[in-house]
Structure 1
């Protein structure tokens, strides 16, 4: 008998709670929903990792780049920008980086330029495990990180999200001399 009485009390309380939810106006329910949505949006914004606009050359990065072993697949040539493509923009009909080059040196520095002029230089670090290269400029406030794919004649750089260059893919061709104006 006690068991039946307990079940009856639980059912009455359960129906009473359901009935009180039905009495709420649609405005109150929509306010609760919008508050929950705002909380979810804020949580998502907190979870997103903010990308850095650029990173300066600091002592730890300088140590990494200058003490790395040389990777001949990167350092044995001057790389000419052959084609660049942004996944956010329409594909260009011609090479928008015509005449540009980058030279990775064995001491962990790089030089970048246009034809026979050097326009930028800095330090780079190539992580052989992840196949990522990070460039930090000494001249301009610029940093970039790229997923590297190399074959005997070409270098493909695929941008990562770290410095917001993730929509870019750049193909470079291996050469021994600087580009020449046509």
Structure 2
């Protein structure tokens, strides 16, 4: 009995450890140069998201005088539906939450506009740190644990279950995509 319990505990521990090692990276940090108002060109990043999926984008902007950073998040449809927008991002963490209506890329475009009278210069740069939380990554497991009175191990199992669901959905998407590509190549 003790040996089976020990084996199950080791197996669960190894599974938890393996899933934490292979978490997909969904954060990026980059420098955004200041540009003159009216001619500022956005710098964009994108992330593929399935339809009807909860997304939380977290943005932290470094300090910089005489600069205003803005973000607009859209989907990649022909209409470029706006999902979230924020002007004049402050230095503290900004969060935007939305649910996608269709599968495709979610595109976040950033502009750094200089105040009137200031010209582009290498010293007018702001560091932008962006983190996409998608699907089960958006769940607040502390609140779930409190509401459902779950023990720590049950919370970890819930996280793993949600992560496995996300992986299965990704695999189904990739299989469907592979089939479409195979059919395209076969014609």
TM range (shorter): under 0.3
TM-score (norm 1): 0.25
Q: Higher relative CO (CA 8 A, sep ≥ 6), structure 1 or 2?
A: 2
TM (normalized to structure 2)? Answer: 0.24
